[in-house]
């Protein structure tokens, strides 16, 4: 039995040990996700869980207790990974070549392979670049050999997703081959071996897919455990569904009211060139940052305003999609009005309190400054980014561009549809095919084509990451509840700027913990402490 301790330093020590535990052993350049390696990790995790339970927080400050529950939630996430999700054994898409692994490196630390994704390089490479890329290419055959051994519980629908991704990996490697033929012909043999291994793995998935009977959805009971004990959200699947269905109905209605109000206004003007589109995005960023300052929405730190427009990252690389017939949902909406997505990205993801970028690189607090695992950062950040779209609309950001309100509601519809699809696929009420169909058919104006990358990516993300899509809506609602509670508590001292400053400075943690820290209200926390 672990010895009881009251020390906050014991929590920090455990946290650092926990994060080290998640770093897989590298064998011949490839992380080891074999059954033996995972069993060893799970056994060590149980030891850490006992040590965590032996920490007595009864005399701690509320802020330190919040840190304790952040660590508890992440440890629960790893436990769930081993018991239920098992991506190394269930999900062929876990073994990914491209920069698509990058989000999982950030969000699913223990699920990620490494940071050696085969991102398309600028050619020619220097001497070190050639050496590095050769090493990455040489890892590919072993990666897929290991995958075949490890995928003992593979789900057929997850294999369907992986097969589609492998086709894109093959296209990428073939582009590498063309580029290297001119600049680095000595890399061609390694490209060919990687290409052969990727095609072989794709063919293996196709051949064995019918022998992969596991379901991709995790079921309602597991969904509820995941939300309560990892995301620290005090609602069940059924409550999620009621909330999100109401959001879908609301935003459809609001869109139709906007369309009626704007029926005599000119239609949107589509951009005629990439340059014009980029200029629209830059203008939207400038307008947003000015609006945040003038309307006292949040304290804008000096390093963010003013910022030269050439230093703002472009939100969406739409220029490659301006050709007729090659436009997906994001292109259709952003080309008509970029402001909704500009607000989403800059306020929700780049702008965190006095910090420029959403992944907390200047937060010096050891636990809160670390990147959250298991979508915990996105449950909070996407809720904020989604919510701010309409909150800024209601604050007047679109008053001089009334038709743009329609785009905001279309985005809201898109998020609600994805969330309902997330719920139904994990309840095993929808198949992957049903999910794709539901998203495509529920978005206005046929802007979400059935086989488009946007529809596939969002359906894939919903199926592979339970709650990723539903947390947009539910988290936004939790934030609105928190705003109402702070307004009631502070009375005349409440201001929008104070609310967002306080919320941002709490760090990227579950919203229920921010609520507890800011308000002192314990009702939600009491319902979340009983771990099943």
pLDDT tens for residues 474-496? 999 999 999 999 999 999 999 99
For residue 362, give both structure tokens. 């200047």
Most confident of 95-109, 305-319, 367-381, 436-450: 436-450
More confident residue, 291 or 359: 291
Whole-number pLDDT of residue 518: 97
Q: What is the mean pLDDT of the chain?
A: 88
Nearest Cα neighbor of 85 from 46, 38, 52 is 38
**Which distant-in-sequence residues (6+ apart) come within 8 Å of 467 by Cβ?**
223, 226, 227, 231, 375, 379, 422
Residue 351 has pLDDT above 90, yes or no: no
Whole-number pLDDT of residue 317: 46
Whole-number pLDDT of residue 320: 43
Whole-number pLDDT of residue 512: 97
Q: What is the mean pLDDT of residues 249-268?
A: 96
Whole-number pLDDT of residue 450: 86
Residue 112 has pLDDT above 90, yes or no: no
Whole-number pLDDT of residue 99: 45
Question: In which residue are the tokens 């502070």 written?
Answer: 490
Out of 149-158, 163-172, 307-316, 494-503, pick the least confident.
Answer: 307-316
321 pLDDT band (50/70/90 cuts)? very low
CB atoms within 10 A of CB 187: 20
Whole-number pLDDT of residue 306: 53
Residue 258 has pLDDT above 70, yes or no: yes
Whole-number pLDDT of residue 130: 93
Residue 194 has pLDDT above 90, yes or no: yes
More confident residue, 356 or 485: 485
| Burial tier of 229 (Cβ tally within 10 Å: 0-12, 13-18, 19+) | buried
Q: What is the mean pLDDT of residues 168-182?
A: 91
Distance, in Å, from the CA atom of 143 to the CA atom of 30, rounded to the nearest integer, reads: 6
Spatial contact of 460 and 93, defined as CB atoms under 8 Å apart: yes
Whole-number pLDDT of residue 303: 64
- Whole-model pTM: value is 0.92
Q: What is the mean pLDDT of residues 402-427?
A: 96
Residue 47 has pLDDT above 70, yes or no: yes
Whole-number pLDDT of residue 102: 29
């Amino acid at each position: 039995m672990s010895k009881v301790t009251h020390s906050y330093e014991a929590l920090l020590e455990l946290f650092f040990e926990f994060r080290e535990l998640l770093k897989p052993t590298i064998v011949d350049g490839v992380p080891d996700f074999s059954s033996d390696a995972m069993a060893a990790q799970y056994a060590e995790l149980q030891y850490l869980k006992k040590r965590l339970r032996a920490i007595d927080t009864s005399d701690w400050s509320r802020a330190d207790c919040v840190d304790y529950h952040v660590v508890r939630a992440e440890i629960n996430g790893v436990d769930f990974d081993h018991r239920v999700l098992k991506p190394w054994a269930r999900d062929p898409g876990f073994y990914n070549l491209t920069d698509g692994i990058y989000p999982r490196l950030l969000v699913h630390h223990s699920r990620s392979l490494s940071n050696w994704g085969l991102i398309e390089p600028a050619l020619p490479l220097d001497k070190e670049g050639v050496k590095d890329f050769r090493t990455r290419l040489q890892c590919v055959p072993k990666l897929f050999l290991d995958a075949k051994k490890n995928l003992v519980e593979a789900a057929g629908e997850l294999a369907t997703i992986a097969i589609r991704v492998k086709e894109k990996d093959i296209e990428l490697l073939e582009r590498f081959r063309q580029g290297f033929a001119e600049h680095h012909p000595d890399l061609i043999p390694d490209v060919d071996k990687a290409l052969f291994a990727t095609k072989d793995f794709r063919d293996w998935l196709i051949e064995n897919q019918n022998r992969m009977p596991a379901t991709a959805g995790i079921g309602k009971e597991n969904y509820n455990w995941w939300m309560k004990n990892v995301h620290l959200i005090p609602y069940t699947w059924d409550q999620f569904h009621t909330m999100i269905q109401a959001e879908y109905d609301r935003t459809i209605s609001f869109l139709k009211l906007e369309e009626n109000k704007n029926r005599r206004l000119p239609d949107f003007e589509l951009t005629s060139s990439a340059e014009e589109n980029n200029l629209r995005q830059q203008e939207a960023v400038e307008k947003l940052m000015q609006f945040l300052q003038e309307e006292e929405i949040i304290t804008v730190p000096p390093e963010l305003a003013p910022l030269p427009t050439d230093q703002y990252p472009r939100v969406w690389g739409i220029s490659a999609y301006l050709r007729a017939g090659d436009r997906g949902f994001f292109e259709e909406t952003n080309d008509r009005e970029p402001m909704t997505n500009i607000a989403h990205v800059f306020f929700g993801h780049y702008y965190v309190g006095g910090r420029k970028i959403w992944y907390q690189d200047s937060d010096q607090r050891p636990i809160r400054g670390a990147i959250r695992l298991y979508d915990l950062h996105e449950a909070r950040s996407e809720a904020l980014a989604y919510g701010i779209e309409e909150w800024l609309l209601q604050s007047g950001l679109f008053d001089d561009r009334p038709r743009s309100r329609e785009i905001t509601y279309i985005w809201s519809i898109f998020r609600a549809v994805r969330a309902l699809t997330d719920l139904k696929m994990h309840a095993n009420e929808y198949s992957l095919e049903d999910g794709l169909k539901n998203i495509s058919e529920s978005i206005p104006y046929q802007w979400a084509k059935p086989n488009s990358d946007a529809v596939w990516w969002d359906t894939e993300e919903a199926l592979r990451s339970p709650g990723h899509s539903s947390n947009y809506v539910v988290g936004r609602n939790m934030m609105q509840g928190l705003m109402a509670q702070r307004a009631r508590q502070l009375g005349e001292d409440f201001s929008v700027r104070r609310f967002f400053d306080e919320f941002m400075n709490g760090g990227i943690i579950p919203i229920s913990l921010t609520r507890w820290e800011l308000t002192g209200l314990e009702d939600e926390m009491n319902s979340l402490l009983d771990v099943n």
